Amino acid sequence: MDTSSAEVALAPFYTNLQAMSAEQPLGTVVAKEAVATEIPGADAWRIAYVTSDLRDRKSLSTGLVIVPKGEAPPDGRPIVAWAHGTTGTAQNCGPSQVPDPVQELNQYFLIGGTSWTDFGIPAITHFIEKGYAVVATDYQGLGGGGKHQYAIGNSNARDAINAVRAVGSMGLAGGGRKALIYGWSQGGGATLAAASQEDYISRTGSAYDGVSFVGFVSLAPDVISVLIPAGSDSETSAPMLLQKLVTQFSDNVFNFAHFSMSMWAMAETFPELRMTDIFTDEGAVALDSIFGNKCMHPGADTISFNYGTTYGSLVRPHPDNAVAWVKALIEGSVKPEPPVAPVIIYFGTKDTVMSPVMGALYQKQMCGMGANVSRVQLPGEQSHFTTPPVAQPLYTQWVDDRFAGKSLENGCPASQ
């Protein structure tokens, strides 16, 4: 099998970032360029800004900023941050890089999708009409250099938090410091992870201090930490847990692509991990080539084309270094700390990509800590991919109410 590859091609805006230093305050915007959009009454920019990962290693993330035309009102603009779902791990997989990126959510799998990837910002038209400043991070590694920490919720969360700081630092929110994060799938997990990062949110010395989050909206989230029982990082339990994850996510090539891409990202994030702990030598080489150079759907197709139903042969019979992997899974996912503001989760009963069980366990855990966490089952039999459009008319009202300061009943089950 030929695993050779050319370097990923990028537009000049992104090429110029590859050697740029990130040693500036969090949220500092280091580059921007205007982007055309057909969203009525909106101006938009492509930006690159300073962020950091879960171990405080600084990097650059790219993204989009969209605001209503004209000056911000005297009391400022609320800031809404979108955290997108899986697009891939190569440098050219950032949603801001597609043609005409500032539009409503445009999904690969749905009829009407126009691209090789998911892109766009759901409810963008509504948010601009309401006068909000909107930012949509690409996450680090998807255009700004470095390796993307795919599905490392506590890193992706910081990209979203620093995107809010970036908007503020540009003066586009006026003096507004109220903010909210909403996200789907990978971004749903990042949203929940952000909610439990009170210390990071309250840090000073950033490009825009004092942001106050009023809520978090999570659509079909990835919350792997709630599936890991206490004590699973022992020498006895860790190998069994890791083997269970391998088996669980190897039921079809699409899920295997998500799993192997996540493991690739973890090995890039945590120096104590190696791809060959879990994958064969051939598998490690092939997957590194795929995920370093292709986005999600082409990557899954590449695995399917080259291995067919034998993709399981890329995995070692028994994982090695299991304790370190389980500890990294825990470190990367949502912290067991109460959210700083109310959380609402939307899910579909036919979601086979991100099990709704994760959201239920998260709610139980956080409600037990005194948090306000609601879960909403969407009408009909919604899949992972129909969750965003079906949930949109529900969460937009919830967002508006949070910024308006309206009271909110506790969404935790009465039995909590």
Q: Cβ of 21: how many Cβ atoms within 10 Å?
A: 9
Q: What is the pLDDT of residue 5?
A: 41
CATH architecture assigned to 12-223+337-403: 3-Layer(aba) Sandwich (3.40)
Residue 74 pLDDT level (bands cut at 50, 70, 90): very high
Q: What is the pLDDT of residue 4?
A: 38
Taking residues 239-243, report their average pLDDT.
92
Could you report the per-residue pLDDT of 12-60, keeping only the tens digit for each? 999 999 889 999 999 999 999 999 999 999 999 999 999 999 999 999 9
Q: What is the pLDDT of residue 416?
A: 55
**Rounded Cα gap, residues 254 and 262, in angstroms:** 13
Could you report the per-residue pLDDT of 179-202, keeping only the tens digit for each? 999 999 999 999 999 999 999 999
pLDDT tops 70 at residue 408: yes
pTM: 0.96
Taking residues 308-330, report their average pLDDT.
95
Residue 415 pLDDT level (bands cut at 50, 70, 90): low
Could you report the per-residue pLDDT of 138-177, keeping only the tens digit for each? 999 999 999 999 999 999 999 999 999 999 999 999 999 9
Task: Pinpoint the residues of the chain covered by CATH 3.40.50.1820.
Answer: 12-223+337-403
